[in-house]
Amino acid sequence: MTLLDKLIQKADIEAGLHYRNPSLPCACGLPGGLNIGSKIYIKGIVPNDCSRFSVNLQRGACDETADVYFHFNPRFPSDAGRHVVRNSRYKEEWGKEETDGESPFVPGKPFFMILTSYRNTYEVEVNGDLFCSFTHRENLSLSNVTHLCIEGNLIVQSLHIPVETMPKHLRLAIPGNAKIGDIYNIRGTVNHGAEEWVANIQCGPGKHDDIVLHFNPRFQDRNVVRNTRSDDNWGSEEKKGKMPFEEGEQFYLQIAVSSEEFNIRVNKSPFALFSHRLDVSYASVLYIEGDVNIEDVWIDRTPTHLQTEGSQDGIKNLQKSKFQTFFPELPVISRIINGLKAGNIVVVSGVIDKQPESLAVNLQCDNSKHADIALHYNPRWSSGDDLIVINSRQDEKWGEEVRVKGKFPFSAGVHFEIQILCQNESYSILVNGVQSSVLPHRMELDRVDHLSIEGSAAVHRILVL
């Protein structure tokens, strides 16, 4: 594993705030602000048609009048070379631009960026190399930075903000508001002597904003209340289910947003379903408070855009799903209603086991053990050399095996996302947003009506788009 791979893995597993596939523009609050040595990790892809994007450290959310302490602005003009503008803004006046250094950002290519704050400077590393150092400008003290804002033509795959101590009242923006397919992951520890704590998905940061999901463990009554609030009026409470939280113990809460309901799991076990009463698309804040210490929060969503090779603009919208399932137990075989056709995209995301052997994702023609398999996608760890095998099976006979060349994109214990693009002539397979392989069709695409998955992973979501 290279040093860059280790840095990417560290950003994925280190505790703090994590945003996966956030919508842009996004304004993320920095709980506790920035300190000397604070780091922010951004992993993404520059689209083929990108003209510019910006990453700002500023006081307040994204606003034309906010003081900008560090403005980092890669530009891709059609009539000049690529460059990166660095600047600041104080009292609505921009300072002097800095543009030295060759831009490390290339359209169509992935990048991994680390922004580090020091006493007198901000430093930016891109793909493992130091790119620039930006001296703090007058009147713009590091201690006053409150938000990270990203905007422009960019695909952000993951954003990680390490937080040493989460605030007792934690308000996290949901960039672009809540969407079908979102999963909110919360790790923490219940305080000794706890009375209650609350996790709300709500329509703003205020005390009286509508709440689309109120999740409220109460320790005196030994139950977990689920509810909604609209126009300051609470709905009917739901309490069914055994209390899964204990004082002094760690927990892992997952809330998935399906088209009909919230799917709630605690400590990797199913806990409750809560049918939507309000439109979740108005929810913009995840709010947590009470007798609990929060250590790690993931706001995890399906990609809003996808970088693909061979298309005119390299972008495809991915927000409408014809099939969805969350947290399936493996092995799983799911029927794809009405089958697949050109233009569909199959998304499988989750976490690889810590000691993996093999993972198989199959697009097949029925649900039997002897079904024809149009696409067999098979990462393997047990052979000694990590590799990916692609194949098909017809009339119980395997076809010619294809071994994928290039960097192995999976890591033990780390999140993954596989996207299979069903094209007219082939399947194009991306892993974590980067094209991995292509398999020409060996049988008719419209025969495929089932998806099966088995092996060394915990799958969080399956979508067909």
Mean pLDDT of 392-409: 94
Please, is 392 exposed, middle or buried when counting C-beta atoms within 10 Å of its C-beta (0-12, 13-18, 19+)? buried
**Strand-pair category, 292-300 with 17-20:** parallel
Lowest-confidence pick of 259-273, 288-302, 375-389: 375-389
For CA atoms 31, 35, 37, 41, give the dihedral sign: positive
Q: Which residue has the tokens 């969350």?
A: 326
Q: What pLDDT score does 25 carry?
A: 93
Q: What pLDDT score does 108 carry?
A: 87
Query: Is-contact 255 183, C-beta < 8 A?
Result: yes
**Digit-coded pLDDT (tens) for 102-145:** 999 999 899 999 999 999 999 999 999 999 999 999 999 999 99
The answer on pLDDT for 321 being more than 90 is: no
pLDDT category at 312 given cuts 50, 70, 90 is very low
pLDDT category at 310 given cuts 50, 70, 90 is very low
pLDDT category at 323 given cuts 50, 70, 90 is confident
As a whole number of angstroms, the distance between CA 70 and CA 65 comes to: 14
The runs of H, that is alpha helices, within 102-154 are: none
Q: Running DSSP on this structure, what letter comes out for residue 59?
A: S
Q: Is the peptide bond before 175 cis (omega within 30 degrees of 0)?
A: no
Q: Which of these, 51, 56, 46, 70, lies nearest to 120 by C-alpha position?
A: 70
Residues in the chain: 465
Write down the architecture of domain 3-8+15-162 according to CATH: Sandwich (2.60)
The H or E element containing residue 12 is: helix 3-13
pLDDT category at 448 given cuts 50, 70, 90 is very high
**Digit-coded pLDDT (tens) for 28-44:** 999 989 999 999 999 99
Query: Is-contact 318 305, C-beta < 8 A?
Result: yes
pLDDT category at 11 given cuts 50, 70, 90 is confident
pLDDT category at 382 given cuts 50, 70, 90 is confident
Query: Is-contact 257 265, C-beta < 8 A?
Result: no
DSSP string, 354-372: SS--BEEEEEESSSSTT--
Query: Is-contact 13 121, C-beta < 8 A?
Result: no
| Assigned token pair, 239 | 């309490």
| Assigned token pair, 247 | 């004082």
Question: What are the structural domain ranges in the chain?
Answer: 3-8+15-162, 170-300, 323-464
Q: Is the peptide bond before 331 cis (omega within 30 degrees of 0)?
A: yes
Per CATH, which fold does 323-464 belong to? Jelly Rolls (2.60.120)
CA–CA distance from 144 to each of 33, 42, 147, 335 (Å)?
Answer: 7, 21, 10, 53
What top-level class would CATH report for the domain 170-300?
mainly beta
The answer on pLDDT for 315 being more than 70 is: no
- CATH topology of 170-300 equal to that of 323-464? yes
